[in-house]
Structure 1
Amino acid sequence: MKTALFLLLLLALGAIPGSLVPQRAADPNGVIQFQREDPELFAVLDALQLFDTYTSVWFSAIYILLFISLVGCIIPRTTHHIKALRAAPPKTPKNLSRLEGYHLVELESGVDPDATVARARQVLQKAGYRTAVYGNSVAGEKGYLRETANLVFHFALVGVLLGLALGTGFKYSGQRVIVEGTSFTNQLASYDSFTSGAFVDDESLVPYGLRLESFEAEYEFDTNAGVAQPLDFVATVDVLREGTSEQRSIRVNQPLDYEGTSVYLLGNGFAPRVTITNPEGDVVYSEPVVFLPQDSNLTSLGVVKIPDGLDEQVGMLGFFYPSAVVLDSGALSSVFPEPQQPVMTLNVFTGDLGLDEGIPRNVYSLETEDMTQIAGGDTGNPAVVLGLGQSAELPHGLGSITFESLPRFVSVDIHRDPTQLPVGISSVFIVAGLVTSLFVVRRRAWIKVVEGGDQQTVIEVAGLSRGDDPGLDAAMDALAKEFSQGAEITLKP
């Protein structure tokens, strides 16, 4: 047991690095940023597997050793406890006066010894003791539930370790941005980012889809602070499976639970639909563009990439203002997160977008090092400014752009954690076992019939506790009073 406690302490200490440095499984971008900022320290920490703390060799070794130690502790204790449950209470000691809570009860002369022993057994059984008669005495023992609860606690602890070890392999978490009117299918290729255990593949994902029908946000303007305070966010989705549709809603802290997965609402924003045509009037691009919020008023940043259809590859870096106002400096700003006066501005670049190199690119960023800016900034051409429903010509006769409509988007986290049920059940048993073991006392008691002088019968009552038991003396006193039914009780000095 000491080994198990020591390993449990080591496990707690070993988990500390997982909260101090980013983990590849949970924050891969943070790991990359750490490497860029401090490559020398990164090399040392990476050699120690601190960026993969919970799957590292040393953490796994502690975990496995703790499991083995607990099992090695539980098995012999369980065997011993089963034998104790089947065994009779221990025989009455010869000298009860050496034990705690010793009492003498003087009875009237001429009492029947057999009836007295029977009476003693009834008293002990009434108090909850399991009894056995040994000649002129009765032995009792109770509190077996304490050891049973203790074993339940340790079995449940093993259950937590097993649940985490086995369930982690089937656990996954994926993030996806869904625009109003579009659908998402629960498969690996559909996620924007995805982390999972070793046993997760496309076959293990629940086959269903989500379609975002609408998103509603409720705000209250705080006149004292001068900012809008969010009150509620509601995403209405259709859950699609095998040709059937079921409408559900998702709120903050009220996820959509479906077939063992939980869909959490992480964020929201606007995805203006942009249509771009070439000089001949042919549509080369017509999609909603996700603009990522940068502040509480949903001033948002977005990127448009047009690799084909125009004379050159074109990239646009833009800002979206839901409720635009012009500041004294001439810059735009949003004063409210709802689209009361939506305006979009775009800086335009031409050149290589880097999409033909076979290297994955972030759709929410634009690498402009190898591109030429032709609108906005110091180019001499103003940035493209569009209100909802407006169109504008692109510089250099590249074509035109139209701000068609303003759907909203939500970002969701789809999470499946099969460890929750076994760990939750085991945790309940851990608490129940611990609380029970704290309040149940393992106690032994003996009542012995002794023939005194002048044919007077004397009853000896004594007890013994396994562990600290401040209530033992009071319990023996209660047994003596119950037995004597009001007779005078003489305490041994």
Structure 2
Amino acid sequence: MRTALVLLFLLAIAAIPGSIFPQRAVDSQRVTEYYAAHPQLAPWLERLGGFEVYASPWFASIYLLLFTSLIGCVVPRLLDHIRALRIAVPDAPKRLERLPLSATKDLAGTPAEAAATAAQVLRKHRFRTKVREHEDGSWTVSAEKGYLKETGNLFFHFALLAVLVGVGFGHWYGWHGNRILVAGADQGFCNSLAQYDDSTLGPRVDAADLPNFCLTLDKFVAGYQDTGQPKAFSATVGVTQNDGPVETREFTVNDPLRLHHANVHLIGHGYAVTLRFTDRYGETQTKTVPFLPVDGMFTSEGVAQFPDVNIDPKTDKRDATLQMGFEGRYLPTVGTGATSTFPAENAPAIFLTAYRGDLGLDVGTPGSVYSLDQGQIATGDLKNVSGARPHELKIGETWTLDDGTKLEFVGTRPYATLAIRYDPTQSTILIGAVLGLIGLMLSLGGHRRRVWFRALPASADSGSGTLLAAGGLPRTDYPGFADEFTALVTAAEEGNP
């Protein structure tokens, strides 16, 4: 047990780097940013598994050693517990007065009757009882209670093993992914790796193993209090499973959408901005891009990039220096400052800064879709063409840039942030957690103790038939044992079980 506690402590320490450093399975973009910010430290962390702590060999070794230690601890104790339940309670010691609790009573009747009464009292109080007759004419009653403490202890440890097994197999055979789903039939999502914003598959899961379903966000309803605090969220989606008919389903934050081998959780929402850009040749492109909230009033930031614009119709060639990017902030309710005053769209407006030049999308380096490449701006390959202040647009308004191109703020759509997960051992972990809680309650509530009675023939001048001696021994700390022992002796004396 000491080894298991040390390993459990080591496991807790080993998990600390997973909270300090960005984890590739959670947010690969943050890992890329960490490489850029710490170019010398990041490669060493990569070699040590600092960006994949929970999948690293050293973390798995501690995990497996803890698992092995628990088995080595629990199995012998289980065998000892079964053996203790099968053997009889040991006979009374010769000197009961040396026990922590003892008492002596003079009773009428024979020693056999006194022993039978004491045994009846103990059995009524759920003690395991053994009555023995001795050659000197005395009778002893041995009783023990509190085996549920060890039973609960074993329950807890086996439940912990079940949770460890569940977590391990859940990691191997489970998967999860996150997706921002914008409202509208043209923004549907089907369950494939290419359509996730980020995803992680278990080592034993392939992309072909993912269940077949598609989702479209039909409606999103958000309710707020007067202070702007969220009150209720609900999403209505159209669901297609295994190429079947479309079903309309509704789910909320605490009530996930349950599909075959997948649960869809609603973990957030926001606004997607629809912008229409008209280039210098009169060609238009329309994009709907999510803007990410930065505060509780849904002040949102984002970027819209138009790399395939200003294509000369005569040569059908794109000039990379004429790509357009718009970065800015969307306010659902415009106030006097640069932040929204309420999360609902009471007075929506968007503030944008326009950039023209090379967006840096063709170099093959992964980047964020929610911000422009700051390196391109720093080198001058992407230039600000809107002036020192962001340009404000309300829904339906058009902004004409210096080269005659135009940008129209068409409107917004709600979007829902979905976490789609599958854990095949979720039930195992739940059962293990419940059994562990039950075992912990039994372990904390149980008290192991033993009680003995010895009935002897009284001496001739005592005037009574039987001398009843009693002794009690608490096997664990139990403050209430003295009162219980007194009650048992009194009941045996009075012959009233």
Q: Under TM normalisation by the shorter chain, which class is it? A: 0.7 to 0.9
Task: Name the amino acid aligned to 2:101.
Answer: G
Which runs of structure 2 are paired with 1:354-365 in the superposition (5 Å)?
354-365=360-371
Change (3 A) 1:40 1:386: closer
Give the corresponding residue for 1:164. 167
- Alignment partners' CA distance in 2, 1:99 and 1:383: 87
After superposition, the Cα gap between the structure-2 partners of 1:231 and 1:151, relative to the gap in structure 1 and judged at 3 Å, is: closer
Could you tell me which residue of structure 1 aligns to residue 489 of structure 2? Answer: 480
* Residue identity in the other structure for 1:261: N
In structure 2, the partner of 1:459 is 468
The within-5 A match list for 1:66-81 is 66-81=66-81
Is 1:173 the counterpart of 2:176 in the alignment? Answer: yes
Counterparts of 1:17 and 1:254 in 2: how far apart (Å)?
32
2:245 is the alignment partner of 1:244: yes
Say which SS state the counterpart of residue 290 (structure 1) adopts.
strand
Report which stretch shifted further, 292-301 or 151-160: 292-301
**Closer, same or farther in 2 for the Cα pair 1:183/1:107, shift >3 Å?**
same
Residue 490 (structure 1) aligns with: none
Find the counterpart in structure 2 of residue 491 from structure 1. Answer: none
Distance 1:205 1:167 in 2: 15
Q: Distance in 2 between matches of 1:403 and 1:246?
A: 33
Alpha-carbon distance in 2 for matches of 1:440, 1:332 = 62
Query: Structure 2 CA distance, aligned partners of 1:17 and 1:102?
Result: 57
**CA contact under 8 A between 1:291 and 1:303: conserved in structure 2?**
no
| TM-superposition CA deviations, 1:196-231 (whole Å, max 9, x none) | 322233233232222111223344555xxxxx5544
- CA 23–456 in structure 1, closer or farther in 2 if over 3 Å, else same: same
Comparing 261-270 and 241-250, the one that deviates more: 241-250
Q: Given that residues 324 and 355 in structure 2 are in contact (C-alpha distance below 8 angstroms), is that contact kept between their aligned partners in structure 1?
A: yes
**Which amino acid counterpart does residue 245 of structure 2 have in structure 1?**
T
Inter-partner Cα distance in structure 2 for 1:456 and 1:333? 94
Aligned to 1:141: 144
Q: Deviations over 1:163-204 (max 9, x none)?
A: 112212233332222222121112211101113322233233
Q: Distance in 2 between matches of 1:83 and 1:452?
A: 37
- Gaps of at least 5 residues in structure 1 are 223-227, 488-493
In the alignment, is the contact (CA less than 8 A) between 1:168 and 1:419 conserved in 2?
no
TM-superposed CA distance for 1:86, in Å, is: 1.4
Q: Give the structure-2-normalised TM-score.
A: 0.83
Distance (Å, rounded) in 1 between the aligned partners of 2:16 and 2:382: 47
1:7 maps to 2:13: no
CA distance in structure 2 between the aligned counterparts of 1:324 and 1:98, rounded to whole angstroms: 82
In the alignment, which residue of structure 1 is the partner of 2:267? 265
Q: Which whole-Å deviations, capped at 9, do the CAs of 1:426-446 have from their partners, x for residues lacking one?
A: 222222212212222222222
* Paired residues, number: 471
Which of 197, 208, 232 lines up with 1:192 in the alignment?
Answer: 197
1:125 aligns with 2:135: no
CA contact (8 A) 1:92 1:134 kept: no
Deviation at 1:482, TM superposition (A): 0.9
Shift of the 112–451 alpha-carbon distance from structure 1 to 2, 3 Å rule, reads: closer
Q: Report the CA distance shift for 1:446/1:376 in structure 2 as closer, same or farther (over 3 A).
A: same
Please list the CA deviations of residues 357-401 of structure 1 after superposition, one character each: whole Å capped at 9, or x if unmatched. 4554543333344645484127xxx9887543455666546x655
- The 1:459–1:210 alpha-carbon spacing in structure 2 relative to 1, beyond 3 Å, is same
- Aligned-partner SS, 1:50: coil
Shift of residue 78 of structure 1?
0.9
Alignment of 1:57-456 (within 5 A): 57-108=57-108, 111-135=109-133, 136-181=139-184, 182-219=187-224, 222=227, 228-241=228-241, 242-259=243-260, 260-274=262-276, 276=278, 279=281, 283=284, 285-294=285-294, 296=297, 298-307=299-308, 310-311=311-312, 312-313=319-320, 314-319=323-328, 321-322=330-331, 337-340=343-346, 342-344=348-350, 347-367=353-373, 368-369=376-377, 371=381, 373=383, 375-377=385-387, 387-391=394-398, 396=403, 401-454=407-460, 456=465
- Change in Cα spacing, 1:353 to 1:142, as seen in structure 2 (3 Å) is same
Q: 1:273 to 1:482 in 2, by over 3 A?
A: same
Q: Mark the runs of 5 or more structure 2 residues left unpaired by the alignment.
A: 134-138, 313-318
SS in 2 for 1:217: strand
The residue type paired with residue 473 of structure 1 is A
Secondary structure, in 3 states, of the residue corresponding to 1:434?
helix
Q: Deviations over 1:262-298 (max 9, x none)?
A: 322323113215254673x555x23323334455353
> Structure 1 pair 422/131, CA: closer, same or farther in 2 (3 Å)?
same
| SS of 1:49 mapped into structure 2 | coil
Offset at residue 152 of structure 1 (A): 0.6
Question: Would the alpha carbon gap of residues 361 and 8 (structure 1) be closer, same or farther in structure 2, given more than 3 Å must change?
Answer: closer
Q: Equivalent pairs: percent with the same residue?
A: 37
TM-score (norm 1): 0.84
Displacement of 1:32 after TM fit? Answer: 3.0
The question of whether the paired residues in 1 share the 8 Å contact of 2:276 and 2:408 is answered with yes
Q: Deviations over 1:303-323 (max 9, x none)?
A: 122326722352221435456
Letter in 1 for 2:169: L
Structure 1 residue 91 displacement after superposition: 2.0
Cα drift, residue 345 of structure 1: 5.8
Query: What SS is found at the alignment partner of 1:162?
Result: helix
Residue pair 2:327, 2:371 contacting (<8 A) in 1 also: no
The verdict on how the C-alpha distance between 1:119 and 1:443 changes in structure 2, with shifts beyond 3 A counting, is: same
Q: Which amino acid in structure 2 is aligned with residue 208 of structure 1?
A: F
Aligned mates of 2:48, 2:85 — CA distance in 1: 49
Query: Contact conserved, 1:307 with 1:353, CA < 8 A, in 2?
Result: no
